[in-house]
Amino acid sequence: MKQVTASGQTVKDAVQSALEQLNTTEDQVNIEVIDEGKKGMFGLFGAKRAIVKVTIKVDPVNQATLYLKEVARFFSEDVAVRVKRDGKHIYFDLSGEKIAMIIGKRGQTLNALQHLVRVMLNRGSQERFRVTVDAEGYRDRRQQTLEQLASRLADKAVKIKRNVTLEPMPSFERKIIHSVLQDNQKVETTSDGTEPNRHVVIKPL
Amino acid sequence: MKALITTIVQPLVDHPEDVAVTVKEETNKVVYHLTVHPEDVGKVIGKNGRIAKSIRTVVYAAGTDTKKRIYLDIM
């Protein structure tokens, strides 16, 4: 974070000098007055200079985009990051060469990256963002796969009259399974185990 | 690889200047040893080691084209 502490005869002077040092304008900074200063007697005795701390405001979403780009660079030279912001939900989409490396097996690398970006973005900020990191439509494709898998395994559970246990998945993927089978009268779904081994169990009714 | 680890970790901690990575090459693996400021230890490990796990996942994925096995040691 870029910040300077500056002093001046008045608060205004101090801020001005800080802005010059940072080479920026007043609307792009946060100003914290440390000491208002005192004029002193006849401007001679007991005069105290005003001290301010000026910090450049950073947009956390921009920071996170940069972070993703920098990390992605280690996988492949040209990875583009597109950002979509929908209120508190920030959606990052990666595209480029060798994107499969960034997704990883069952999206595990992508999920790890998503987790790191979320931690970074929400660190030290009051508001909480929801973060999705996607790569060339992977999340959509995964959703379709999971929907098909869910209906297939529900049929299987009914046929063999036994519980069918799925492999461990992150919460947002389990949610897809639960919602697909919500209206299915023949089965019931629950989640079992503790993170990171929590998994869906499909029970025939 | 060293640069990747610092790139990942620095934005997560309060004292980015204290993030250090040392490398130790062994016959079959390369061990990266990550140290951070004592106050930041929790920030790179996370609840139940979730952050540490995510860092490892990303680092190991980026290291697939190197010949030796990579191992990331935190603290």
Q: Are residues A27 and A79 in the same domain?
A: no
> In 3D, which of A193, A173, A190 has the Cα closest to residue A182?
A190
Q: Are residues A128 and A67 in the same domain?
A: yes
Interface predicted TM-score of the whole assembly (ipTM), two decimals: 0.90
Percent share of chain A, pLDDT over 70: 96
A15-71 tens-digit pLDDT: 888 888 877 777 777 788 888 877 766 656 677 788 888 877 777 788 888 888 888
Cβ-Cβ contacts under 8 Å for A57 (sequence gap 6 or more) = A28, A29, A30
CA angle in degrees (0–180, nearest 5) for A179-A155-A144: 45
Number of H helices, E strands in chain A: 6, 9
Residue A43 falls in which region: left (phi positive, over 0), alpha (psi -120 to 50) or beta:
left
> Which residues in chain B are contacts of A131 at CB distance < 8 A?
none
pLDDT at A151 over 80: yes
Q: Are residues A89 and A118 in the same domain?
A: yes
Counting one residue from A and one from B, how many pairs have CB atoms under 8 Å apart? 55
Please report the pLDDT score of residue A42 as a whole number.
63
Q: Are residues A69 and A118 in the same domain?
A: yes
Instruction: Work out the average pLDDT over A160-174.
Output: 92
> Which residues in chain A are contacts of B4 at CB distance < 8 A?
71, 74
When divided into structural domains, chain A yields a total of 3
Q: Are residues A42 and A81 in the same domain?
A: no
A89: its two tokens: 């939900």
Q: Are residues A33 and A78 in the same domain?
A: no
Q: Are residues A47 and A95 in the same domain?
A: no
Q: Are residues A125 and A161 in the same domain?
A: no
Q: Are residues A48 and A78 in the same domain?
A: no
Which structural domain, as residue segments, surrounds residue A101? 60-136
Q: What is the CATH number of the domain that holds A101?
A: 3.30.300.20
Q: Are residues A105 and A170 in the same domain?
A: no
Which residues in chain B come in under a pLDDT of 70?
Answer: none
Mean pLDDT of chain A: 86
Please report the pLDDT score of residue B60 as a whole number.
87
Chain B residue nearest residue A100, CA to CA: B61
Q: Are residues A41 and A11 in the same domain?
A: yes
Q: Are residues A98 and A78 in the same domain?
A: yes
Q: What is the CATH number of the domain that holds A193?
A: 3.30.1370.50
Q: Which residues of B touch A (CB under 8 A)?
A: 1, 3-4, 7-8, 11-12, 43, 46, 48, 50-51, 53-55, 57-58, 61-62, 64
**Phi (first) and psi of residue A202, to 5 degrees:** -100, 120
DSSP code of B71? E
- Domain annotation for chain B: domains and CATH numbers: 2-74 (3.30.300.20)
pTM of the entire predicted model: 0.77
